[in-house]
Amino acid sequence: MTTSKPIPATLIPGDGIGPEITTATLMALDALGAPFVWDRQVAGAASVSAVGDPLPPECVNSIRKTKLALKGPLETPIGGGYRSSNVRLREEFKLYANVRPALTLIPGGRYENIDLVLVRENNEGLYMGYEHFIPIDGDPHAVGMATGINTRQGCRHILKFAFDYAIRKGRKKVTVVHKANIMKALTGIFLETARQIFESDYKGQIEFEECIVDACAMKLVMNPWQFDVIVTTNLFGDILSDEIAGLVGGLGMAPGANIGDHAAIFEAVHGSAPDIAGQGIANPIALMLAAAMMLDHVGRFDLGNRLRRAIDATLNEDKVRTGDLGGSATTLEFASAVVERIKASR
Ligand code: NAI
């Protein structure tokens, strides 16, 4: 039994494996007695087929009211079609910080004891969608162009978030990842701002390091333990966070939180996995861990920790694992095993 008040929250099951991993996650949250009262909404491909709109106003209005959402992956057409509903949600609610922790959950893998957090700028950079084609000689796509934009205010916002987060969590070091040797304005402003605010606000409180993105990608594979908290611009963060997920067993293990000053949306790092959708074999851990971050966010660290401990015991003591982790459990079998562990932890 929990004593906290009910907390209204929006639930978007999403596309592909989204509904399967959402069901699994809700089983765990119900077993915990989590305080969320869900307002179920649709977005992405599911809502294109249902109501002809990848981000219906009802969904946006629901998050405007609850300021809190758990979201399954949303499909985005490649190379054309509608703009990503994920990106639109991040813009709509100014969710400027994307926090993606990666922790080794299963010992004995290629990398042991990984404990990294990637903080990604979520609203600017090359994700702003200022793109167009220039037609030449009858080829409508003869030239493709994109404009990236990073602002001083946006850089300051995310960098302060990352330094504050690292200090609050007792971390040792923040690594600022950039490509300021080539993109001297677009990512130069990010590095310049990082140096400035470190000097003025954080010096002496935490270690500061700079790393060029290509070198960072290599170092993450060679010796990931040298990093602690990484903060970077939008596209680099997108790519490096998938790489980091690979260090802890793949995308099925990586949760993410999109945080703004007035709202937060929690999700798995991975997408809708169309190749395995509908088969009931997806790994629900990433969304479950996102739900644990959501519990932390509302101050229910007790429940978040219980959920993380139940997942750990299911993986390592019961040895119940989905196919991506070398096991044979279905999504629902894994979820049922987590529920048993949660009940046993009362
Ligand atoms: P993806 O992350 O969906 O899949 C990549 C690979 O990882 C696939 O082989 C998939 O089977 C596997 N995988 C992903 N999650 C898994 C899980 N929980 N358990 C077991 N295996 C898992 O990436 P992909 O294929 O590039 O994207 C598919 C769609 O998802 C696209 O429409 C994309 O735009 C969208 N997407 C949405 C995101 C979001 O809603 N935040 C994030 C990334 C992609």
Closest Cα to atom 36 of ligand 1: 271
**Span from the CA of 274 to the centroid of ligand 1 (angstroms):** 7
Sign of CA dihedral 88, 124, 232, 155: negative
Residues 222 and 306 in one domain: no
Give the Cα separation of 3 and 220 in Å (integer). 43
Residues 151 and 34 in one domain: no
Ligand 1 pocket member 264 (CB < 6 A):
no
Residues 87 and 111 in one domain: no
Instruction: Give the global pTM.
Output: 0.94
- HSE toward the beta carbon, residue 345, CA cutoff 13 A: 23
Last residue of a domain, one of 200, 222, 247: 247
**Span from the CA of 277 to the centroid of ligand 1 (angstroms):** 10
What SS3 class is residue 177? strand
Closest Cα to atom 39 of ligand 1: 73
Q: Kindly state whether residue 64 falls inside one of the protein's structural domains.
A: yes
Query: The domain spanning residue 33 has which CATH number?
Result: 3.40.718.10
3-class secondary structure per residue, 22-69: HHHHHHHHHHHCCCEEEEECCCCHHHHHHHCCCCCHHHHHHHHHHCEE
Give the Cα separation of 9 and 65 in Å (integer). 9
Residues 234 and 267 in one domain: no
Total domains in the chain come to 2
Q: Kindly state whether residue 40 falls inside one of the protein's structural domains.
A: yes
Give the Cα separation of 249 and 255 in Å (integer). 12
Q: Kindly state whether residue 175 falls inside one of the protein's structural domains.
A: yes
SS3 content of the chain, % helix, strand, coil (to 5): 45, 25, 35
Residues 227 and 269 in one domain: no
Strand partners, 139: 136
Q: Which are the contacts of 140, defined by CB distance < 8 A and separation ≥ 6?
A: 133
Q: Kindly state whether residue 98 falls inside one of the protein's structural domains.
A: no
Residues 134 and 211 in one domain: yes
Residues 63 and 149 in one domain: no
Domain that holds residue 242: 107-247
Residues 159 and 214 in one domain: yes
Q: Kindly state whether residue 127 falls inside one of the protein's structural domains.
A: yes
For a pocket test of ligand 1, which of 122, 127, 270 has the largest count of ligand atoms closer than 8 A to its C-beta? 270
Residues 212 and 120 in one domain: yes
Ligand 1 pocket member 273 (CB < 6 A):
yes
Closest Cα to atom 37 of ligand 1: 271
Residues 231 and 269 in one domain: no
Last residue of a domain, one of 221, 247, 273: 247
3-class secondary structure per residue, 68-100: EEEECCCCCCCCCCCCCHHHHHHHHCCCCEEEE
Give the Cα separation of 295 and 29 in Å (integer). 10
Q: Kindly state whether residue 310 falls inside one of the protein's structural domains.
A: yes
Give the Cα separation of 162 and 159 in Å (integer). 5
What tokens were used for 226?
């040298």
Residue given tokens 């999504």 in the structure block? 331
**Span from the CA of 139 to the centroid of ligand 1 (angstroms):** 32
- pLDDT tens sequence for the chain (346 residues): 445 799 999 999 999 999 999 999 999 999 999 999 999 999 999 899 888 899 999 999 999 999 999 999 999 988 878 888 998 999 999 999 999 999 999 998 889 999 999 999 999 999 887 899 999 999 999 999 999 999 999 999 999 999 999 999 999 999 999 999 999 999 999 999 999 999 999 999 999 999 999 999 999 999 999 999 999 999 999 999 999 999 998 888 999 999 999 999 999 999 999 999 999 999 999 999 999 999 999 999 999 999 999 999 999 999 999 999 999 999 999 999 999 999 999 7
**Span from the CA of 13 to the centroid of ligand 1 (angstroms):** 14
Residue given tokens 């660290």 in the structure block? 301
Last residue of a domain, one of 247, 280, 302: 247
Residue-level pLDDT at 50: 87
Residues 270 and 219 in one domain: no
Q: Which are the contacts of 211, defined by CB distance < 8 A and separation ≥ 6?
A: 175, 176, 177, 178, 219
**Span from the CA of 304 to the centroid of ligand 1 (angstroms):** 24
Q: Kindly state whether residue 257 falls inside one of the protein's structural domains.
A: no
Residues 83 and 112 in one domain: no
- Give me the amino acid identity at 249: G
What tokens were used for 194?
């990082």
Q: Kindly state whether residue 15 falls inside one of the protein's structural domains.
A: yes
